[in-house]
Amino acid sequence: MGSFSYDGNDMSIYNVTVVDWAIDAMPAAQLDVQTVPQGPGAMQSASHGPRTINITYAIKGNTYLDLWENQDHVNRILDVRNGPKNLAIDDITDRYWVSGLTSPIPMVPRGISNYTEMSITFLSVEPGYSNVETDQTFAIASDPDTFTVDTDVAVKGSEPAVPLWLIRNETGGAVTSVTLANTTLSETIQWAGSLTDDYWLAFATGDNTALSMESSTIYISTSAGSDPLVLSYTASMGGMHATNNKFPRLKPNVQNSMTVTGVSTGTAQWVYRARFI
C-alpha cells in the first residue's frame, strides 16, 4: 500500500505507510419537514449524516527519536483544531474527501525502537470529490442562449456537482440583469446590477471552487480580462433570486441543459469536480 495526504501534505515524506483503510458508505439521507409559518403547506429538505473513514498507518524512523520527530509532523498536520481538510488515500486515485479527525492522535508508545502503527478516524459530511477538475466554455451568441453540460458525455459522479459559473459580458455596453438556469434540475439564479463590458459575473455554487469563493454567493470581477480565473472579485448580492434557494447545480449521469439570459454576446465558463456519495 501507499501513504495518504492531508491538506496537500504528503505523509510519505514522514515515512508513513497505510496498512489498512475502510471508508463507510454515506448514511441514507434524512428528510426534514417543517410547516410554513402562517400559511398552509410545508418545506422539506434532505441531508446525509457524516461518513466515517478509518485509516491504520505505520510510521517509522531511523531511530526512536527520528520516529518521534516524524510523528510530531503528522500531529501538526492532522491537528483537530485545524478543521476539515482534503483527505486523499494513495490507493484511491480518482477522488478525495473533505474531512476532519474525530479525536487527537495517541502518543507514540514507549518500549519500541523505530516503528509503530496508529489507527485514526475521520468524519466527512460531504460527498467525495473527483481529483479531476472540469473547465469548459461556451460562446454566447444570442439572448437567451442555451448550451449543454457536459457537451460530449454525461456529468460524472453520483451526487449533484456544485460548479463555479462565470459569465463574461462582451456586448459593448453594460448589462443590468443576468439569469442562469439549469432546466434539467429546474434551478435558476437571477442577478440584477451593472456588469461592465468585458467584466465577469461569477455564481459560486459550492465552496470548492477554482477561486476559493464562498458557497451560494455572487461576485463581479474588479477588472476586465479574458481569463476569469486570474482576476479579483467582489461580492454582489443585490437583486439576487434563486429558485428553491439553490444556485444551479449539475445533475450526475445526464447531460444538463442550461440557459443564460441577459447577455447577447459573451462567454459562459464553468469549473467543477464530480462528486460521489
Judgement on whether residues 140 and 19 belong to the same structural domain of the protein: no
Task: Give the whole-angstrom CA distance, residue 245 versus residue 217.
Answer: 12
Average pLDDT over every residue of 261-275: 94
CATH of the domain at 64: 2.40.30.200
Q: Is residue 61 included in any domain, yes or no?
A: yes
Are 119 and 205 part of one and the same domain?
A: no
Helix, strand or coil, per DSSP, at residue 151: coil
In a domain, 36, yes or no: no
Say if residues 166 and 228 touch (Cβ distance below 8 Å).
yes
Q: What is the mean pLDDT of the chain?
A: 87
Residues 134 and 270 in one domain: yes
Cα angle for residues 222, 227, 228 (degrees, 5° grid): 45
Rounded CA separation 31/47 (Å)? 7
Query: Residue 43: its pLDDT value, please?
Result: 40
Q: Which residues pair with 118 in a beta bridge?
A: 57
Is 41 a domain residue?
Answer: no
Same domain, 170 and 87: no
- Looking at the structure, tell me whether residues 222 and 247 fall in a common domain: yes
Same domain? 66 vs 164: no
Strand-pairing partners, residue 139, are 267
- State whether 268 and 203 are in the same domain: yes
Query: What digits encode the pLDDT tens for the residues 144-188?
Result: 999 999 866 778 888 899 999 999 999 999 999 999 999 999 999
Domain span holding position 13: 4-29+46-126
Tell me: do 183 and 83 sit in the same domain.
Answer: no
Residues contacting residue 108 through CB under 8 Å, at least 6 positions apart: 67, 68, 71, 116
108 and 213, same domain (yes or no): no
Residue 265 lies inside a defined structural domain of this protein: yes
198 with 236, same domain: the answer is yes
At 47 the pLDDT is 58
Point out the domain boundary residue: 109, 126, 143.
126
Average pLDDT over residues 54-73: 93
Where does residue 105 rank: exposed (0-12), middle (13-18), buried (19+ CB within 10 A)?
A: middle
User: 97 and 202 share a domain?
Assistant: no
| Residue 196 scores a pLDDT above 80 | yes
- The answer to whether residue 145 is domain-embedded is yes
CATH number at residue 235: 2.60.120.860
User: Do 47 and 29 meet the contact criterion of CB atoms below 8 Å apart?
Assistant: yes
Alpha-carbon span 84 to 99, nearest angstrom = 5
Q: How many domains does the chain have?
A: 2
Model-wide pTM > 0.85: no
- The type of residue at 219 is Y
For residues 25 and 103, state if they share a domain.
yes
Higher pLDDT, 186 or 243: 186
